[in-house]
Amino acid sequence: AQTVTQSQPEMSVQEAETVTLSCTYDTSESNYYLFWYKQPPSRQMILVIRQEAYKQQNATENRFSVNFQKAAKSFSLKISDSQLGDTAMYFCAFILTGTASKLTFGTGTRLQVTL
């Protein structure tokens, strides 16, 4: 079974600063995807960034980037130039390849961006 661990229940960062959210996972499989989802107060799940396990290059999406360490089974999210709109719950998630695979979520990190 796959597990996803987010060890930071809450984090705070000042506007324009950089923050890193941690995520580790455990699996015996080699083909999978990793995701970071954002859930603002509206409760909508928004895909922030994803990483294919077979790719060594870290994914980036504008101000969001990941540090993917496959051997260490680590997948951290870096948010640069933090904005007030980044305030949300952030969930790390894992899914094996295959259309019927289930998405496994971490427990989430509540990020507060302050002035």
**CA-to-CA distance for 97 and 20, rounded, in angstroms?**
26
Which residues are within 8 A (CB) of 36 and not within 5 positions of it... i.e. 6 or more apart? 21, 23, 47, 48, 49, 50, 64, 66, 75, 77, 90, 91, 92, 93
Kind and range of the H or E run holding 109: strand 109-114
Going by C-alpha positions, the residue among 58, 105, 40 that lies closest to residue 49 is 58
Residue with Cβ nearer other proteins (12 or 14): 12
**Which residues in the 20-39 window bind other proteins by CB under 8 A?**
33, 35
Residue 63 DSSP label = T
Is residue 64 at the binding interface for other proteins, with CB under 8 A as the rule? no
Quick one: which of 1, 28, 43, 62 contacts other proteins (CB under 8 A)? 43
Show the site string, 76-105: x = touches other proteins by CB under 8 A, - = not.
-------------x-x---x-x-xx-xxxx
Shortest Å, Cβ 45 to other proteins:
4
Contact positions toward other proteins, by CB under 8 A?
A: 33, 35, 42-45, 47, 50, 52, 89, 91, 95, 97, 99-100, 102-108, 110
